[in-house]
Amino acid sequence: MPDFTFEMQISGRVAGVDEVGRGPLAGPVTAAAVVLRSGFIPEGLNDSKALTAKKREQLYPLILANADVSVAHASVDEIDRLNILRASHLAMVRAIAGLQSPADHALIDGNMIPRDLDIPATTLVKGDSRSLSIAAASIVAKICRDRVLVDLAQQHPGYGWETNMGYGSKSHMSALENLGVTPHHRRSFKPIHNILYQEKIVSD
């Protein structure tokens, strides 16, 4: 279970940072930065992947009410232009910059520090299961990105984004074959690139 050990070892305001949405074929990549206050930490925080959707929804307003929270995205266009790793880092930097008060240090899930980050940072592999701040960020990022995909699903019905969240599920792949590629699909990702390439060959 995550705890507050890492945060307590660092002086100043520590932001836990996590992202969600590197793997999907559609939609933005989303990052959250969360600065928790000792003594005001909601009970039950854990890696978002270890929680039920109901539990995430219960914790989400508690995190917003008791922490400094910022959410940011990198768009599909930015993912295609920069690559998914750099776009993920861009979303992280934006999330940290969007905090109400500047953070003094970032605890980042993973093993890479975004190169454009202008504050000291520490990486934590599997940080969402080790740090309460990163766990909180993982919950916020997951809920916010899921809500974006649910909204997009209403604009583009048939792809199942309200349940698959843009991942390449069987129903999503079938819809791509039947309905085609939308502006919200990541053209640099191989399955989408291959479909567009085949369409170009046919049209030529």
Mean pLDDT of 182-194: 96
Please report the pLDDT score of residue 201 as a whole number: 55
Determine which of 12-21, 27-36, 145-154, 195-204 has the lowest per-residue pLDDT on average.
Answer: 195-204
Residue with tokens 């085609």: 180
- Residue 199: pLDDT over 70: no
Mean pLDDT of 147-167: 98
Please report the pLDDT score of residue 3 as a whole number: 96
Please report the pLDDT score of residue 124 as a whole number: 98
- Residue 33: pLDDT over 70: yes
**Chain Cα centroid distance, residue 100:** 19
**Bridge partners, residue 151, by sequence:** none
Rounded to the nearest integer, the mean pLDDT of the chain is 96
- Residue 203: pLDDT over 90: no
0.75 exceeded by the pTM? yes
pLDDT tens for each residue of 49-73: 999 999 999 999 999 999 999 999 9
* Annotated binding-site residue? 19: yes
Strands 105-109 and 14-20: parallel
Q: Is there a contact between 48 and 1 (Cβ–Cβ < 8 Å)? A: no
Please report the pLDDT score of residue 74 as a whole number: 98
* Annotated binding-site residue? 78: no
CA–CA separation, 25 vs 121, rounded Å? Answer: 30
Please report the pLDDT score of residue 120 as a whole number: 98
Please report the pLDDT score of residue 200 as a whole number: 60
Closest CA to 153 of 161, 145, 143, 165: 161
Helix spans in 30-131 (H): 53-66, 76-82, 84-97
Share of the chain above pLDDT 90, in %: 95
Where are the domains positioned within the chain? 5-147, 161-203
* Annotated binding-site residue? 199: no
Helix spans in 9-165 (H): 53-66, 76-82, 84-97, 132-155, 161-164
Mean pLDDT of 105-133: 97
Please report the pLDDT score of residue 30 as a whole number: 98
| CATH superfamily of the 5-147 domain | Ribonuclease H-like superfamily/Ribonuclease H (3.30.420.10)
As to burial, measured by CB atoms within 10 angstroms (0-12 exposed, 13-18 middle, 19+ buried), residue 59 is buried
Please report the pLDDT score of residue 197 as a whole number: 80
